[in-house]
């Protein structure tokens, strides 16, 4: 069962309060019980000492002189008190009238000491007794006639032990009343505490309710709203900040998707409009076969550009959804760079470009050829497209610290340093008029960046004057390093 947070807090607070109150009540009851028993034992000892003062010894005879006026509790019939006197040998020498001829009190555990013990009274009720050691008084006439030796002998006799017991029904009733009173107070206090806690929690949750209302006010189509942090409790402030950050990311993602949809529509609309216009003009009247061939060639070129853009979009979508997997193959890096450059060599010759090679990386390495081919193809295409006529392209490679670095530099750059963060965005092009629509869609560098993320590689662009440089750094897997040792530099 899923409990609400408020219910859980109230439930746990009520349980905690009940436990604290019960423990407090038990401790209070225990302290009161100890205090009452201490007072009871003190009164019992006073009673025993008072009774001992009424005990006299005449020769070998023990006399206890008490009356109904002096100590009625030992004579009455209703809840009487009891006493019994033993000599040093444990023989009973006197006992109260409340003890029948067959009834006796328990013998002291140790003669000559003062001890308090719970016991069962002759009336079958619960009681408490004290055993008290003392010396009896002697009658004056006998005491005067005693010689010094007889006095010393008498003082050396073992002490008598007096046992006094009394019922504790009143004490038990008092403790029972106290227990019921504490139970009632604990129950009422728990209920009152629960009600107060419920009010406090309800008041405290008002701030959370305002947070929920703020979240509810954020529309599906408008994610610009944020939760105000001023009235948020400090305990939920981190959660609120994370929600605001999440809303910022969602808003940014939604804006990117809107922009992406608009850019895709624009990029496809331009070549489609060109195709439509070309075909309409071609179909407007009869033409020579050569004119039809020219028209078909133009349409085929635009169609190939659209095909490349769609393939780049599909690859970019797979890269962003982390569905691309690595397919490592043994690759000779020098031959691979030449192979990737081959489709662009004729274009470079046609524009009169000077291509400089500095390939220090050598040997056979384990690389994902297809993904790296796609990256290098885009970079070589950009370099041969945006370089100035008769300009320079430099292609360098090296392996250092278990990382292969590939740097492509071209002259004729018209970009500024502020354009670098933008050039990796989808559909961004420095040509605002997009005169080359259908040929370059502005997806190349964005696709390269995402594939580099899959390869755990990095791509960095720099602009210095009229020179544009882009550098790839790809960490080599362990098997590539092992393979490299078997293929020395050529």
Same domain, 305 and 400: no
344 and 479 both lie in a single domain: yes
Say which CATH number the domain at 471 has. 3.30.565.10
Angle, CA of 264, 269 and 274, to the nearest 5°: 140
Quote the CA–CA distance of 120 and 110 in Å, as a whole number: 19
**Long-range Cβ contact pairs of 211-218 (< 8 A, separation 24 or more):** 211/236, 211/240, 215/243, 218/247
- Of 272, 293, 319, the residue that ends a domain is 319
Residues of the chain with pLDDT under 50: 141-154, 156, 432-439, 480-490
* pLDDT given at position 148: 36
Asked whether residue 67 is domain-assigned, the answer is no
Q: Is residue 177 part of a domain?
A: no
**282 and 301 share a domain?**
yes
Interval 259-282: pLDDT, tens? 666 666 766 776 787 788 888 888
- Domain end marker among 286, 319, 352: 319
Q: For residue 78, how many C-alpha atoms fall within 13 Å in the half-sphere facing its CB?
A: 0
Q: What is the three-class DSSP state of 467? A: strand
Closest Cα to residue 198, out of 3, 8, 1, 2? 8
Burial 261-298 (b: 16+ CB within 10 A, else e): eebbeebbebbeebbeebeeebeeeeeeeeeeeebeee
Q: Which of 282, 298, 319 is the last residue of a domain?
A: 319
pLDDT at position 146 is 36
Q: What is the pLDDT of residues 364-383, one digit of tens each?
A: 788 888 888 888 888 898 89
Residues 330 and 435 in one domain: yes
Q: Three-class SS of residue 242? A: helix
- CB distance 489 to 397 below 8 Å: no
Query: Does any domain span residue 290?
Result: yes
**CA–CA separation, 81 vs 73, rounded Å?**
5
Number of structural domains the chain divides into: 2
**Residues 448, 96: Cα–Cα separation, whole Å:** 112
Q: Are residues 346 and 457 in the same domain?
A: yes
Token pair listed for 98: 């409340």
Distance CA 289, CA 89 (A): 148
Rg (CA), the chain: 53
Residues of the domain holding 301: 258-319
Same domain, residue pair 474 and 330: yes
- Give the CA dihedral 460, 465, 466, 467, nearest 10 degrees: -30
**CB atoms < 10 A from the CB of 468, how many?**
24
- Is the residue at 74 inside a domain? no
Residues 313 and 393 in one domain: no
137 in any annotated domain: no
Please check whether residues 306 and 333 belong to one and the same domain: no
Question: Given the structure tokens 């046609």, which residue do they identify?
Answer: 350
- Predicted pLDDT of residue 426: 67
Of the candidates 168, 201, 210, which has an alpha carbon nearest to the alpha carbon of residue 44? 168
pLDDT, residue 99, reads: 82
Position 180 scores a pLDDT of 95
Domain membership of residue 471 (yes or no) is yes
State whether 333 and 460 are in the same domain.
Answer: yes
| One domain for residues 399 and 353 | yes
Element (H, E) at 84: strand 82-86
Please tell me the predicted confidence (pLDDT) of residue 152: 41
Q: Is residue 98 part of a domain?
A: no
Within this chain, do residues 345 and 307 fall inside the same structural domain, yes or no? no
Same-domain status, 292 and 369 = no
CA distance 381 to 404: 21
């Amino acid at each position: 069962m899923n409990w609400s947070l408020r219910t859980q807090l109230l439930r746990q607070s009520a349980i905690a309060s009940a436990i604290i109150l019960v423990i407090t009540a038990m401790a209070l009851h225990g302290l009161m019980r100890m205090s009452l028993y201490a007072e009871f034992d003190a009164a019992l000892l006073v009673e025993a000492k008072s009774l001992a003062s009424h005990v006299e010894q005449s020769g070998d005879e023990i006399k206890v002189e008490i009356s109904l006026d002096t100590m009625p509790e030992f004579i009455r019939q209703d809840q009487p008190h009891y006493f019994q006197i033993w000599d040093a040998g444990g023989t009973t020498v006197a006992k109260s009238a409340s003890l029948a001829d067959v009834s006796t009190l328990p013998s002291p555990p140790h003669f000559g000491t003062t001890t308090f013990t719970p016991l069962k009274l002759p009336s079958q009720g619960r009681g408490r007794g004290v055993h008290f050691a003392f010396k009896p008084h002697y009658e004056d006439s006998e005491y005067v006639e005693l010689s010094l030796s007889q006095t010393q002998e008498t003082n050396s006799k073992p002490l008598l032990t007096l046992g006094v017991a009394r019922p504790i029904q009143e004490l038990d009733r008092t403790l029972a009343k106290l227990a019921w009173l504490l139970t009632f107070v604990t129950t009422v206090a728990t209920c009152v505490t629960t009600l107060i806690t419920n009010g406090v929690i309800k008041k405290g949750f008002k701030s959370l309710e305002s947070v929920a209302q703020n979240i509810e006010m954020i529309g599906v189509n408008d994610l610009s709203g944020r939760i105000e942090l001023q009235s948020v409790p400090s305990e939920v402030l981190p959660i609120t900040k994370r929600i605001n950050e999440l809303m910022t990311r969602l808003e940014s993602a939604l804006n990117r998707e809107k922009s992406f949809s608009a850019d895709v529509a624009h990029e496809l609309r331009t070549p489609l409009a060109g195709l439509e216009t070309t075909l309409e003009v071609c179909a407007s009247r009869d033409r020579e076969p050569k004119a039809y061939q020219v028209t078909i060639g133009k349409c085929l070129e635009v169609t190939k550009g659209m095909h490349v853009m769609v393939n780049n979009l599909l690859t970019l979508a797979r890269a962003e959804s982390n569905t691309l997997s690595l397919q490592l193959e043994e690759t000779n890096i020098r031959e691979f760079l030449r192979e990737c450059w081959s489709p662009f060599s004729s274009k470079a010759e046609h524009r009169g470009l000077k291509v400089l090679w500095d390939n220090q990386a050598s040997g056979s390495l384990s690389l994902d050829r297809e993904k790296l081919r796609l990256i290098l193809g885009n970079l070589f295409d950009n370099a041969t497209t945006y370089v100035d006529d008769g300009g320079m392209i430099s292609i360098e490679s090296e392996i250092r610290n278990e990382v292969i670095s590939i740097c492509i530099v071209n002259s004729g750059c018209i970009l500024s340093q502020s354009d670098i963060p933008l050039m990796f965005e989808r559909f961004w092009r420095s040509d605002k008029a997009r005169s080359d629509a259908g040929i370059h869609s502005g997806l190349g560098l964005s696709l390269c960046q995402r594939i580099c993320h899959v390869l755990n590689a990095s791509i960095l662009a720099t602009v210095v004057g009229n020179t544009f440089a882009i550098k790839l750094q790809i960490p080599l897997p362990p098997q590539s390093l092992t393979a490299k040792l078997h293929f020395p530099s050529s």
